[in-house]
Amino acid sequence: MKSESLWYIFINASLINNFVLAYFLGICPFLGVSGKMETATKMGAAVTFVMIISSVCAYGIHALLVAINAPFLQLISYIVVIAATVQLVEMVIKKMSPALFRSLGIFLPLITTNCAILAVALFQTAKGYSFFGSLAFALGAGVGFTLALILMAGIREQLDFADVPKVVKGTVITLLVAGILSLTFMGFSGLGS
């Protein structure tokens, strides 16, 4: 456990145990905003940003909670920090790019309830990563999430031109594609070990 290099933590979080395709975290935005490539890229960037900030905060909070001996507050304090970060990002995006704000729509506030972000905070605590380890983990998770989202968006843009039977249109075909993507990501297992 201790011998894990930062590079390995990063690769592990982004490819080998991809958050979306291996841990099923962040499925809602994965299915929801993967329709267009442009939105997918920006959503990925927003999620990665929130992940890194909340990971840093979670590291501090964990140290504090251990110090005051109140581990049962962990979940509640993590979620509050994440909600605050999302609010911040929302305000920044609204100010910088109203068009992007509209295209992300309901999925922006829903980053709060994106399990991938809370999972980063929880996993890094459970695995006992150092400060930089946590940072590498959060970055890897964000990159992995963005990668899955972009791959999916690329496929779905092509799917729009395909003749899909009515009965599998929408969620069903998306899930099938996700399953196949997940299979290909299994090819990464064993990497770096």
Partner 1 sequence: MTPTKTTDLKAGPSSTDEFIKGLWRENPVFVQVLGMCPVLAVSNSAINALAMGLATAFVLIMSNILVSSLRNFIPKQVRIASYILIIATFVTMVDYAIQAISVDLHKNLGAFISLIVVNCLILSRAEAFASKNTIGKSALDALGMGLGFVFALFCLGAVREILGNGSIFGFMIFPESFQEWIIMILPAGGFFTLALWLFLFNNYKLKKAKA
Extract long-range pairs of 123-126: CB within 8 Å, 24+ residues apart. 124/55, 124/58, 124/59, 125/58, 125/62, 125/74
| Minimum distance, C-beta of residue 71 to partner 1, in the bound complex (Å) | 10
| Minimum distance, C-beta of residue 163 to partner 1, in the bound complex (Å) | 17
| Minimum distance, C-beta of residue 120 to partner 1, in the bound complex (Å) | 10
| Residue 50: burial class (beta carbons within 10 Å; 0-12, 13-18, 19+) | buried
**Site of tokens 């092509």:** 158
Judged by beta carbon, residue 5 or residue 94, the one nearer partner 1 is 94
Judged by beta carbon, residue 38 or residue 70, the one nearer partner 1 is 70
Judged by beta carbon, residue 10 or residue 185, the one nearer partner 1 is 185
Q: Which two tokens stand for residue 89?
A: 């990002």
| Minimum distance, C-beta of residue 116 to partner 1, in the bound complex (Å) | 8
Question: Which positions touch partner 1 (CB under 8 A)?
Answer: 21-28, 31, 72, 75-76, 79-80, 83, 109-110, 112-115, 117-119, 122-123, 126, 166-168, 171-173, 175-176, 178-180, 182-183, 186
Judged by beta carbon, residue 5 or residue 66, the one nearer partner 1 is 66
How many alpha carbons lie under 13 Å from residue 92 in its C-beta half-sphere?
Answer: 9
- The SS3 of residue 128 is coil
